[in-house]
Chain A
Amino acid sequence: MIEVDSIHKVFGDGSETYALRDVSFSVAEGEFVSLIGPSGCGKTTILNCVGGIEPVAHGRVSIDGRPVRGPRSGDVGFVFQRAVLLAWRNVMDNVLLPIEVFGRPTAPYRARAQELLELVGLSGFAGHLPGQLSGGMQQRAAIVRALIFEPRVLLMDEPFGALDAQTREYMNIVLLRVWEAMRKTIVFVTHDLEEAVFLSDRVVVLTPRPGTVREIVPVMLPRPRTIAMRYSEEFAALARRLRDRLEFDVPTGAAR
């Protein structure tokens, strides 16, 4: 379980501008929660704080009751917008990178890595170099890399934002299959409302900078989710509700 309790974050340039103000939410064990909000509202910062790679100024972040004070090896798996695979390592060696960094022997994890690669549809690609894979395939390898050490929490920072719409839809299905198989707690940052509704149990809507929690919207769609649900009235109503809650900074000046 993740608890984000009233965190604040000030920009590091001494301007005393809040990047985040009084952000609180919690994520239950095995829950899928998305963060949405206008760009620059601090979604990535929140993820970094939960992952322990950025300190919080005020407030508290804890995972399973233990406060996060820095990266705790093995607790959190990150997936970024770009796959960030090391170009000189093949897929298998990229997947095993976290194990190496933790200083554990990699041999016992190979079979598991192979299983996970199969789960995301990359079974024949363990020996391929990242440059030989498509963007979507690279991102699937990155997901396996985040899962290989069985983290308690998966933090995903717009992981499919750079992919085309069709690939993204496919990746959503793959991710849900992985999540249903492993029941990880997932915090998922996206700017795509439909994606948030389709994947999540709850959606946290953030305001423009300084980011605060505007509303937390529960998604009551049944599981397992199917593509057909995207066209249901319930889905459309949820997406509309989220869109209404998102505040866009539309310039009000009249054109001359």
Chain B
Amino acid sequence: MPPAPAAEMPLAPAVPELSELAGDAQARRSRHRRREARILAVWRLAVLAMALLAWSLVSLATSPLILPGPGAVLVHLVRHAPLILKNLWVTLAEILLGFLAGSAVGIATGTAIAHSRRLEAIFRPYVTTSQAVPKAALAPIFVLWLGFGIGPKVTIAALISFFPLLENTIVGLRRVDPDALRLFASLGASPRQVFTKLRLPNGLPYIMAGLRVGVVFATVGAIVGEFVTANQGLGALIVIAQGNFDTKLMFAVIAVLTAMGVLLYDLVRVLERALLRRYNLGEGEIELHRMDP
């Protein structure tokens, strides 16, 4: 029997389809990315473990009064959870009230100042100078004025978070493309239209970045306020723990404060991302001459 003619042989695709190749490449890339992410996560945990280990070793060599170990702090944290929680609500309330008041006033004032070139020129040096005032140093004065309740803490938190919002609102509303202004002028747009259709969407990313910084600043403000008038709240708890030589409690409270700060920051960040994505806006920069509260 003669072999089947070559022409009838099925033409096996020696070369794969281009789309398959592209799909392969994509799959390989994402596989690679996943592997890379796993490696980084492992390393990150390793760094944490090493830091905790170092902490433990040093704490073994020193008095628990100076440096308690991480395990002891954790046990203490759980044991005193009700006490910490009770004070946490106070501090959280101060932070949120201060943050809301400070950012509302900051955005409103910034909007007013950004509204006219003349107002901005008049206020600019004072805005810049007032940022250099160490706000924490004002805490005793507010206690003098507002007593020992929640008032002075909220005020400090509000004052400190006011500035990033003020600055970022002014910059965001002002920093618009001059050609865009020319376009709006050529259309005979009213100042109100320029504000709502150009300046506000242009400024929103900056304002959101200001909020992100503001909430962290508010946390610092509330704690500083509590340091001055030890009464209740996590800041007060630290001062009391210090008086009782309860170093473990101090560490536990600091850990809780840190967790709270991260959570608040992330909360604003999530809100920011959602809002900016909703309005197709890019990320805003943080516009601050001085980053410290």
Q: Do A and B associate with each other?
A: yes
A129→B188 contact, CB < 8 A = no
Describe A's contact surface by its main secondary structure: loop
- Contact A89 to B280, CB < 8 A, known contacts A53-B182, A78-B182, A84-B180: yes
A87→B280 contact, CB < 8 A = yes
B280→A78 contact, CB < 8 A = no
Q: How would residues 7 to 28 of chain B score, 1 for a CB under 8 Å from any chain A CB and 0 otherwise?
A: 0000000000000000000000
User: How far is A37 from B181 in the complex, measured between Cα atoms in Å?
Assistant: 25
Q: Is A88 interfacial (CB 8 A cutoff)?
A: yes
User: How far is A155 from B237 in the complex, measured between Cα atoms in Å?
Assistant: 69
Q: How would residues 1 to 41 of chain A score, 1 for a CB under 8 Å from any chain B CB and 0 otherwise?
A: 00000000000000000000000000000000000000000
User: How far is A70 from B187 in the complex, measured between Cα atoms in Å?
Assistant: 10
Describe B's contact surface by its main secondary structure: helix
A100→B197 contact, CB < 8 A = yes
A84: which B residues are within 8 A, CB to CB? 177, 179-180, 182-183
Q: How would residues 176 to 193 of chain B score, 1 for a CB under 8 Å from any chain A CB and 0 otherwise?
A: 010110111111110001
Other-chain residue from B182, B201, B279, B282 in contact with A80 (beta carbon distance below 8 A): B182
User: How far is A129 from B201 in the complex, measured between Cα atoms in Å?
Assistant: 15
Q: Which of A32-83 contact B (CB under 8 A)?
A: 48, 51-53, 70-73, 76, 78, 80-82
Give the B interface residue count (CB, 8 A): 19
Minimum CB–CB distance for A82 against chain B, Å: 6
Chain A residue at minimum C-beta to C-beta distance from B279: A88
Q: Which of A94-148 contact B (CB under 8 A)?
A: 97-98, 100-102, 129
Chain A residue at minimum C-beta to C-beta distance from B183: A84
Give the A interface residue count (CB, 8 A): 25
Of B187, B197, B279, the most chain A CB neighbours within 10 A belong to B187
A98→B280 contact, CB < 8 A = no
Q: Is A236 interfacial (CB 8 A cutoff)?
A: no
Other-chain residue from A51, A53, A86, A101 in contact with B201 (beta carbon distance below 8 A): A86
Q: Is B281 interfacial (CB 8 A cutoff)?
A: yes
Q: Is B198 interfacial (CB 8 A cutoff)?
A: yes
B281: which A residues are within 8 A, CB to CB? 87-88
Minimum CB–CB distance for A48 against chain B, Å: 8
A88→B177 contact, CB < 8 A = no
B residues contacting A by CB (< 8 A) are: 177, 179-180, 182-189, 193, 197-198, 201, 279-282
